[in-house]
A and B are shown apart, each in its own frame.
Chain A
Amino acid sequence: EVQLVQSGAEVKKPGESLKISCKGSGYSFTNYWIGWVRQMPAKGLEWMGTIYPGDSDTRYSPSFQGQVTISADKSITTAYLQWSSLKASDTAMYYCARLGYSGNDAAQFDYWGQGSLVTVSS
């Protein structure tokens, strides 16, 4: 069974750093892209970026480039999303999701983590 299990809720202050995780199991972790998706309170879904754990090839949305860092440790089948200096506007639910293939192309998010709620408040 494919599973993505994310780390728990976090409450942080502005300016603090944070790294949240997403552990994959039940499939070949190195052969599928993992994406991160932000959902701000009562808002829609925003793609932040994706990583291919096999070689750590990482692609960012222009809206998030330079704001976050996506990484992966294939030895423990875990992907990460991190901030070096949080802002109140980073308050959101963050989902990781696996990109399933259509033919040879990674195309749709077929499995999702349960979400990690990040609250940034002074």
Chain B
Amino acid sequence: EIVLTQSPATLSLSPGERATLSCRASQSISRYLAWYQQKPGQAPRLIIYDVSNRATGIPARFSGSGSGTDFTLTISSLEPEDFAVYYCQQRNNWPKITFGQGTRLEIK
């Protein structure tokens, strides 16, 4: 099983700052790495797929990068609505799908 480890567990930043969230895989992932945003009381929303592709309607301030075992979600300039929990997810050893444990992005 591929384990995804996200860091930090909590990130405290101010609006306008840059956020960098990490997702590390226990073994190399070829391409199927996605990121989700979840706000309180809401279902998760896909924001990045295939490591670096933004989902429909996702603002350009969100970007994904990485390869092998290390992946990053970057939010270039935080807006108030970006404060949420973010999860990474992989399906490279189909049919098994795993999620990271999440990073909480909170307002400083």
Interface residue ranges, A against B (CB under 8 Å): 35, 37, 44-47, 50, 59, 61-62, 95, 97, 99-100, 102, 105-110, 112-115
Contacts and interface: CB of A to CB of B under 8 A. Distances in A.
17 contacts: A37-B99, A44-B100, A44-B101, A45-B38, A45-B89, A45-B99, A46-B99, A47-B97, A99-B91, A107-B34, A108-B34, A108-B91, A109-B34, A109-B36, A109-B44, A109-B46, A110-B55
A102 B43 contact: no
Nearest to A93: B43
Interface of B: 1, 31-32, 34, 36, 38, 43-46, 49-50, 55, 87, 89, 91, 94-102
Contacts of A106: 91, 94
Contacts of A50: 95, 97
A117 to B, nearest CB: 11
B50 A102 contact: yes
Contacts, number: 68
Contacts of B98: 47
Contacts of A112: 43-45
A37 to B, nearest CB: 8
Contacts of B94: 105-106
Given A47-B97, A108-B91, A113 B34 contact: no
Contacts of A61: 96-97
A105 B32 contact: yes
Contacts of A100: 46, 49
Contact of A45 (B31, B32, B87, B96): B87
A82 to B, nearest CB: 20
B49 A107 contact: yes
Given A47-B96, A107-B34, 9 more contacts: A45-B89, A45-B99, A61-B96, A105-B91, A107-B49, A108-B46, A109-B46, A110-B49, A115-B43
Contacts of A37: 44, 99
A5 to B, nearest CB: 12
A112 B38 CA distance: 11
